[in-house]
Structure 1
Amino acid sequence: RNELWISEGRTLGEKSFLIIENGVLTGFGFYELYHQIKSWDKIQKLKIEILFEPKLLENYLKLALLKNYFEIIPLPKAN
């Protein structure tokens, strides 16, 4: 699974995203305009690395997914 999980951001007009690569949470970030996440290069510029074991979040993410807190879109292919 290579996906972006999109949700609400920190402020009005901002969105947040989680990067799922090969089924593992690898990073997150924030954006305001959709075109900012249309390419892998742009996502990499916005990406904040996960500095802890993503397994700790697994149950929280599953619950949020079941409650439809995220919009899921395919991760753009790297150039």
Structure 2
Amino acid sequence: MPCAAGIEARSPPWPGPLLAGAIIYVPGLLWLGSVIGFDKPVLQYGFIPFIPGDIIKALLAALVFPVAGKWLYARSGR
């Protein structure tokens, strides 16, 4: 989909969501480790159980956002 200035976006789509996930997970894992202790499996308790839901959300976003963007662009009459 073209950008507002009519220039195609050339950056890959994955760094933003990856950074957003890290912003959420890193403090949460640090907090969890400080509460239960870092000698416990912090990743197994606070990261791995959420991976399937995050994958489903990412797939839904990959399907919905392009369609919604095209719909909104067509609706704007440009």
Answer yes or no: same fold by TM over 0.5: no
Of structures 1 and 2, the one with the larger relative CO (CA 8 A, separation 6+) is: 1
What TM-score results when the alignment is normalised by the length of structure 2? 0.27
Q: Which has the higher strand share?
A: 1
What TM-score results when the alignment is normalised by the length of structure 1? 0.27
Q: Which has the higher helix share?
A: 2
Pick the structure with greater CA Rg.
2
